[in-house]
Amino acid sequence: SMECPYMEEIKGTNILIYDKKMQKENKEPKLLDLYDAWKKGIIKTDWHAYWIGNEYEWFLSLGVNPNNLRVRQHTSDEKSHYAIDTWDLEYKFPMGWRELQGFANRGDFDLKQHQEHSKSSMEINDNGKKVLSQVVCEPSLGMGRAFMVFMFESYFYDEKRNNTVLKLNPKLAPVKAAVFPIIKSSEYEEIAQEVLKDLRKEFNVNYDKSGSIGRRYARNDEIGTPYCITIDNKSPKQKDVTIRDRDTTRQIRVKINGIRDILRKLINQEVKFEEAGKLI
């Protein structure tokens, strides 16, 4: 068997674990280090633990609250007939804990079936020994469920702003930025178009010149646009703009020729908003 060479990566990954023993004894799930849970034999195989950790970290990296996630082992009576061991990554939906992703150790079930029905050997030669390969972990993720998770995590009604704010991770936000000329005049709109043209080489960006600045911010907050760029009365002279952060509503001033670079760094979380420009 091939051992998983990436186990060091899951050290320090703390996850709420609910194994079949805890379920049988009506005990609460435990927050454990995933690596330790594998070492203690709670999660039997290394590849199984690795994939659980990998997928869990993926959800965390995109803004999911770890308190809303847990991993639960299938009990003996619910396990699929072909599975040796199955774990589910579960999410605390409004209707309770539900499966988000399954991880099944399918053993040699699949190739055994192929072999039986095709009447041809599926075995491989491993140092002179005939072996039937096994599927030690099959991570199965539903797109619809993942989408719902990100929506539940992001959807807020902001009392202070009196409107909905979709706090999507910038990597997931369909529109990365919006550009507003604050004053309706050819000078401001020309600068705005120049900024827009540059940003659209790389990102999906909105252009909005109608209504009050407050309404424009609100429209973009509702669709999850993380950054709003305003060409204001200082822009023509200073050759800079303001960038507003969707979640905190804080603003920084940034030189026009540096916007695309800063936006990329902000989206990839390579730089903190406060450090990306001059706070105003």
Q: What angle do CA 103, 105, 111 make, to 5 degrees?
A: 125
Q: Which two tokens stand for residue 80?
A: 């699929």
- CA 48 to mean position of chain CA atoms: 20
Q: DSSP character for 83? A: -
pLDDT at 78 over 90: no
Element (H, E) at 261: helix 259-267
pLDDT at 255 over 90: yes
pTM of the model: 0.88
Q: What is the pLDDT of residue 32?
A: 97
User: Within 10 A of 270 (CB to CB), how many other CB atoms are there?
Assistant: 10
Q: What angle do CA 17, 19, 21 make, to 5 degrees?
A: 140
Q: What is the pLDDT of residue 1?
A: 57
140 in helix, strand or coil?
strand
Q: What is the pLDDT of residue 39?
A: 96
Q: What angle do CA 31, 270, 63 make, to 5 degrees?
A: 35
259-275, pLDDT tens digit by residue? 999 999 999 999 999 99
How many secondary structure helices (H) and strands (E) does the chain include? Answer: 9, 16
* pLDDT classification of 106: cutoffs 50, 70, 90: confident
Q: What is the pLDDT of residue 262?
A: 96
Q: What is the pLDDT of residue 116?
A: 84
Give the whole-angstrom CA distance, residue 75 versus residue 53. Answer: 21
pLDDT at 186 over 80: yes
Residue type (1 letter), 176: K
Q: What is the pLDDT of residue 184?
A: 83
Average pLDDT over residues 128-156: 91
Question: What is the length of the chain?
Answer: 280
Q: What is the pLDDT of residue 280?
A: 81
Across the strands, what pairs with 230? 180, 242
Residue 56 CA neighbour count, 13 Å, CB half: 28
Residues with Cβ within 8 Å of residue 171, at least 6 apart in sequence: 62, 267, 268, 269
12-68, pLDDT tens digit by residue? 999 999 999 999 999 999 999 999 999 999 999 999 999 999 999 999 999 999 999
211-240, pLDDT tens digit by residue? 999 999 999 999 999 999 999 999 999 999
Give the whole-angstrom CA distance, residue 127 versus residue 117. Answer: 27
> At which residue do the structure tokens 């140092």 appear?
127
> At which residue do the structure tokens 């903190």 appear?
272
Q: What is the pLDDT of residue 137?
A: 84
Residue from 207, 220, 209, 117 nearest 164 by CA? 220
User: CB of 277 within 8 A of CB of 243?
Assistant: yes
